[in-house]
C-alpha cells in the first residue's frame, strides 16, 4: 500500500471516530457560516466562493466497510431498512409540535432511493412545511423538498418539506443532489440513497453509496454530506 493510501486511511479513521461519537446527531462539514454570508449578501456568493464550498464538501467524504461506521446509528439503520424495502422514499417524523414555531424536540428523517432516470419537472409539487416560516434577517426562505423530486420523481410529492435558507437550498442541497445522481448512474440501481436529517434549526444533507466489489472492502460505503444552520435572525429559537 502506498504512503498516500496509508495517510488517506489514517485520516479517514480519525474522521469516522469523530462522526460516530457525535452527540448532536448532525454530521458532515458545517457550512453554516457560508450559508449565512450568502443570505446576508442577498442570497448569492461569487463563483470562487461557490467552487471552494463545493470542493470542501467533496473532499470531506468518508468511507467505511459498513454504513454504521460513518453515520449515526439511527440514520444508518433507517437507510439500510429503506434499502431492504421496495419503497422509493422513506420518512420518519417524530417532531413534537413543530406547528407552534420556535424550538421543538425531535427530528424529521428522510431518505430517497436515487434513480438514474430523468423526470418531468411539470409533475413536481412542493407541500407546505408543518413548521412555520422562520424569521430571516436577510435573504429569503424556501420550502425545501426533503426527498428531492429530481432524484426519484412524483413519488416524492407526498413527503413532508421544511423551510430552509434559499442559498442553502439552491447551492448546497442541489450540489449534493447532483453528486447523488451521478453516483446512481455510475454504480447502478439500488446503490445510492440521498438522506436528510432535520431538527428545529439545523439540517444534515448527504448521500450514501454502496460501491460493492469495485473497491477495497474497508471503503465499500462512501458518504458525502454537509450540515448547516437553517434559521438565522435575532429571534430566539
| 171, 106, 207, 218: CA torsion to nearest 10 | 140
pLDDT digits (tens, 9 = 90+) for 33-49: 999 888 887 767 889 99
Radius of gyration (C-alpha) of the chain in whole angstroms: 17
Q: What is the 3-state secondary structure (H, E, C) of 107-159?
A: CEEEEEECCCCCCCHHHCCCCCCCCCCCCCCCCCEEEEECCCHHHHHHHHHHC
Whole-number Å distance between alpha carbons of 201 and 182: 29
Whole-number Å distance between alpha carbons of 144 and 212: 31
pLDDT digits (tens, 9 = 90+) for 188-230: 889 999 999 999 999 999 999 999 988 899 999 999 999 999 8
Whole-number Å distance between alpha carbons of 65 and 80: 14
* H or E stretch at 218: none
Is the Cα dihedral 43, 44, 49, 51 positive or negative?
A: positive
pLDDT digits (tens, 9 = 90+) for 112-167: 999 999 999 999 999 999 988 876 666 788 889 899 999 999 999 999 999 998 88
Q: If DSSP codes are grouped into helix, strand and coil, which group holds residue 225?
A: strand
Whole-number Å distance between alpha carbons of 112 and 90: 7
Query: Would you state the pLDDT for residue 51?
Result: 93
pLDDT digits (tens, 9 = 90+) for 65-107: 999 889 988 899 999 999 999 999 999 999 999 988 778 899 9
Mean pLDDT of the chain: 86
Name the more confident of 12 and 188: 188
| pTM of structure | 0.88
Residue 32's alpha-carbon distances to 38, 133, 204, in angstroms, are: 10, 18, 11
Domain boundaries of the chain, sorted by first residue? 3-229
Amino acid at each position: 500500500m502506498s504512503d498516500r493510501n496509508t495517510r488517506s486511511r489514517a485520516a479517514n479513521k480519525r474522521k469516522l471516530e469523530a462522526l460516530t461519537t457525535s452527540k448532536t446527531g448532525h454530521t458532515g462539514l458545517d457550512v453554516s457560516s457560508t450559508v449565512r454570508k450568502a443570505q446576508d449578501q442577498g442570497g448569492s456568493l461569487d463563483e470562487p466562493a461557490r467552487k471552494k464550498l463545493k470542493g470542501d464538501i467533496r473532499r470531506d467524504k468518508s468511507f467505511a466497510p459498513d454504513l454504521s461506521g460513518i453515520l449515526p446509528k439511527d440514520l444508518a439503520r433507517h437507510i439500510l431498512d429503506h434499502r431492504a424495502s421496495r419503497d422509493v422514499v422513506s420518512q420518519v417524523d417524530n417532531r413534537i409540535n413543530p406547528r407552534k414555531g420556535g424550538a421543538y424536540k425531535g427530528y424529521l428523517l428522510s431518505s430517497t432511493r436515487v434513480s438514474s432516470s430523468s423526470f418531468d419537472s411539470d409533475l413536481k409539487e412542493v407541500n407546505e412545511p408543518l413548521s412555520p416560516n422562520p424569521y430571516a434577517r436577510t435573504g429569503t426562505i424556501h420550502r425545501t423538498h426533503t426527498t428531492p423530486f429530481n432524484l426519484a420523481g412524483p413519488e416524492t410529492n407526498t413527503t413532508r418539506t421544511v423551510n430552509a435558507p434559499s442559498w442553502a437550498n439552491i447551492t448546497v442541497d442541489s450540489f449534493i443532489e447532483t453528486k447523488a445522481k451521478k453516483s446512481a448512474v455510475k454504480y447502478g440501481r439500488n446503490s445510492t440513497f440521498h438522506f436528510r436529517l432535520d431538527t428545529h434549526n439545523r439540517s444534515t444533507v448527504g448521500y450514501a453509496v454502496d460501491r460493492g466489489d469495485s473497491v477495497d472492502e474497508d471503503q465499500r460505503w462512501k458518504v458525502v454530506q454537509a450540515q448547516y444552520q437553517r434559521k438565522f435572525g435575532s429571534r430566539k429559537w
